[in-house]
C-alpha cells in the first residue's frame, strides 16, 4: 500500500522565514528520486533549488509560480511504497517500498535523504505514520442561479461552493482558522481583522498575507480601520459587491519582497541603528592606473582596478582595525575582527546584492581579481549561495561604474564602515607645482561613529588616498 508523505518548505538557513516559488521542476504524476530538485525558490538571499527527501510519485503541488510561502508550508505530496497493484510507486526512485502497516511503526528505515538543508535531510526516513486522506466524492455542481460570485484575493471573482457557504454560517467560527504564518495573524490582529470571517486564496483556503492586505485596502476604501467579527466582510467572501474605490489609474504598487524587500529592511535598520558620518577626499589616481597597466603588460591574468583598491583596503584596515568591526548593541560591546571578509556592492537585474570575498587580507591582486569576477558572474546569474552573501566585515562600493563622482552610501549593517569609489576621470590637477591633466578619483568613507572618532576615519581615508596616489606605499606592508 502506498504511503503519501507531505514535503514542507524547509528552513533554508540564515534566518529566512519565507520564499517565493519561481519555477516548478516537476509536475503532478512525475516520478521523483530522493534528493531530486523539485522546485526553484527565491529567498531574500538567493535563488535555491529545493530537493525532495522522498522518492516516489508526485500527487499534489501547493502554490503556483509567484506564490510566497512561509517556512513549514506544504510544498508537495509524494506517494512512496507499493500501490495496490504491486508496482512500486516510483520505479525510478531509490527509495525502498513501504513495509506492511504493522511493521511501519517499528522497523527503522534504511535509506534517507543526503540533504544538508536545515530542517530535513536526516539519515533516516520519518518513523511517524501518516494517514492517507480518503478521496471524497465531489458534490453535485450547483446551478449558476444558486451559487453567488465571491471576489478572490487577486480581485477576480470565483464561484463559491458549499465550503464558502459554510464559512459564512455562524458555526464557521468554531473551526480552526487556516493560517500558518504568525506574521499574518499579527497583521490581522493589529488591524482588527477577524480571520474567521475570511476565505484564503492559498491552497485549501489558506489565508495569506496578500489576503489580509487586500481586506485592509477594501476596509480603508469604506473609511473603516478594519473588519471585525461583527461586521460584514468586504472584497473577500461577502455576498455584497466591493465598495467603489478611488481612481488609481496610472498607479503601480510593487511588493517589497525577495531581494528588494531584504535590501529595504537592511538599509532601514542601518539608518535607524547606526549613527553614521561621511568624509571624502579627491586623489590623483594616475600612478595607480600606470601601475595597473604595467602589471597587465607583464603577462598573465589581467588585474582589475577594484582588486587593487581591495588590496589597498586590506592594508588600511591592518593599520586602522577599528573600522573592521561591528557593534553588539545588546552586550554594548564593539566586536573587532581579525580577518577581513570584504563585501562589494553588485547591481543585478534582481536588485542590489553584496557578495563577500572571504579572507581578502590573505589574497594577492591576482587572486582578488579572480574572486571578484567569479562572484560578480554568480550575482548576475542569481546563483550566489547564502554563505556568499553573509559574513562581511567591511564593504567596498565602486559606484563610479554608474558614471558618478561621489556618494554618501548607507553602511551595510551590521558592519561599521564602507569605502566608496567614484569614477576615475581626467581633471585639471596641480602636479609638482604645475597645472596638469591627471586621472582623479573621489574617495568617501562612511563609518559608524560608535566604533571610532573622526581622527581614525580620516587617517584611514588619507592612507587609502596615499596608496592610490603612490602605489609604492603598499610595498611597506607586502
Verify whether residue 453 is a known catalytic residue.
yes
Among residues 83, 119, 114, the alpha carbon closest in space to that of 98 is found at: 83
Output the pTM of the full model.
0.55
Q: Write out the chain's pLDDT in tens, 478 residues.
A: 678 899 988 877 655 678 888 889 999 889 999 889 999 888 766 778 888 988 899 999 998 888 888 888 899 999 887 654 545 454 444 444 444 444 444 444 444 444 444 444 444 444 444 444 545 545 444 443 444 444 444 444 444 444 434 344 344 444 566 766 666 777 888 888 888 788 888 777 778 888 888 888 887 776 655 444 444 444 444 444 455 555 667 888 888 887 778 888 888 999 999 999 999 999 999 999 999 999 999 888 999 999 999 999 999 999 999 999 999 999 999 999 999 999 998 888 877 889 999 999 999 999 999 999 999 999 988 888 888 989 999 999 999 888 999 888 899 999 999 999 999 999 999 999 999 999 999 999 999 999 999 999 999 999 999 999 999 888 776 6
What is the C-alpha separation between 35 and 241, in angstroms, rounded? 47
| Distance of alpha carbon 391 from alpha carbon 366, whole angstroms | 23
Q: For 415, which DSSP code?
A: B
| Closest to 344 measured CA to CA, from 311, 370, 375 | 375
Which of 85, 211, 449, 466 is labelled catalytic? 449
Cα separation, 227 vs 357, in Å, equals: 50
Q: How far is CA 119 from CA 50, 60, 122, 240, in A?
A: 12, 21, 9, 44
Q: What separation in angstroms does the CA of 358 have from each of 272, 372, 390, 446?
A: 28, 11, 10, 22
Grid cell in block for residue 30 = 512525475
Give CA–CA dist 371/357, Å, rounded.
Answer: 7
CB 398 within 8 A of CB 418: no
Q: Which residues contact 401 (CB under 8 A, 6 or more apart)?
A: 423
* Cβ 18 vs Cβ 78: under 8 Å: no
Amino acid at each position: 500500500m502506498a504511503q503519501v508523505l507531505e514535503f514542507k518548505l524547509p528552513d533554508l538557513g540564515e534566518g529566512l522565514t519565507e520564499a517565493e516559488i519561481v519555477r516548478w521542476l516537476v509536475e503532478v504524476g512525475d516520478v521523483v528520486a530522493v534528493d531530486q530538485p523539485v522546485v526553484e525558490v527565491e529567498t531574500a538571499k538567493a535563488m535555491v533549488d529545493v530537493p525532495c527527501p522522498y522518492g516516489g510519485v508526485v500527487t499534489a503541488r501547493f502554490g503556483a509560480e509567484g506564490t510566497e510561502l512561509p517556512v513549514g508550508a506544504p510544498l508537495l505530496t509524494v506517494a512512496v511504497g507499493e500501490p495496490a497493484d504491486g508496482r512500486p510507486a516510483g520505479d525510478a526512485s531509490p527509495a525502498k517500498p513501504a513495509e506492511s502497516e504493522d511493521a511501519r511503526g517499528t522497523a527503522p528505515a534504511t535509506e534517507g535523504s543526503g540533504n544538508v538543508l536545515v530542517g530535513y535531510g536526516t539519515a533516516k526516513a520519518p518513523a511517524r505514520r501518516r494517514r492517507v486522506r480518503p478521496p471524497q466524492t465531489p458534490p453535485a455542481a450547483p446551478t449558476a442561479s444558486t451559487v453567488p460570485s465571491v471576489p478572490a484575493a487577486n480581485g477576480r471573482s470565483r464561484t463559491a461552493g458549499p465550503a464558502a457557504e459554510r464559512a459564512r454560517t455562524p458555526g464557521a467560527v468554531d473551526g480552526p482558522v487556516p493560517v500558518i504564518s504568525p506574521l499574518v495573524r499579527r497583521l490581522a490582529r493589529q488591524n482588527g481583522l477577524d480571520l474567521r470571517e475570511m476565505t484564503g486564496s492559498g491552497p485549501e483556503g489558506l489565508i495569506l498575507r496578500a489576503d489580509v492586505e487586500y481586506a485592509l485596502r477594501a476596509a480603508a476604501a469604506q473609511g473603516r480601520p478594519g473588519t471585525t467579527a461583527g461586521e460584514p466582510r468586504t472584497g473577500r467572501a461577502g455576498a455584497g459587491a466591493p465598495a467603489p474605490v478611488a481612481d488609481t489609474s496610472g498607479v503601480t504598487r510593487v511588493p517589497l519582497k525577495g531581494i528588494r524587500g531584504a535590501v529595504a529592511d537592511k538599509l532601514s535598520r542601518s539608518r535607524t541603528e547606526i549613527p553614521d558620518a561621511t568624509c571624502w577626499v579627491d586623489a590623483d589616481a594616475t600612478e595607480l592606473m600606470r601601475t595597473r597597466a604595467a602589471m597587465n603588460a607583464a603577462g598573465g591574468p589581467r588585474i582589475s582596478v577594484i582588486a587593487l583598491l581591495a588590496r589597498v583596503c586590506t592594508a588600511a584596515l591592518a593599520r586602522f582595525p577599528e573600522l573592521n568591526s561591528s557593534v553588539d548593541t545588546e552586550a554594548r560591546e564593539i566586536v573587532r575582527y581579525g580577518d577581513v571578509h570584504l563585501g562589494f556592492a553588485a547591481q543585478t537585474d534582481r536588485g542590489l546584492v553584496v557578495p563577500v570575498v572571504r579572507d581578502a587580507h590573505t589574497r594577492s591582486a591576482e587572486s582578488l581579481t579572480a574572486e571578484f569576477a567569479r562572484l560578480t558572474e554568480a550575482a548576475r546569474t542569481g546563483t550566489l549561495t547564502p554563505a556568499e552573501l553573509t559574513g562581511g566585515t567591511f564593504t567596498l562600493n565602486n559606484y563610479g561604474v554608474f558614471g558618478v563622482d561621489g556618494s554618501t552610501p548607507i553602511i551595510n549593517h551590521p558592519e561599521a564602515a564602507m569605502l566608496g569609489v567614484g569614477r576615475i576621470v581626467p581633471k585639471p590637477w596641480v602636479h609638482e607645482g604645475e597645472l596638469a591633466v591627471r586621472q582623479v578619483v573621489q574617495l568617501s568613507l562612511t563609518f559608524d561613529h560608535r566604533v571610532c572618532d573622526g581622527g581614525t576615519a580620516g587617517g584611514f581615508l588619507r592612507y587609502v588616498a596615499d596608496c592610490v596616489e603612490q602605489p609604492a606605499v603598499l610595498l611597506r606592508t607586502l
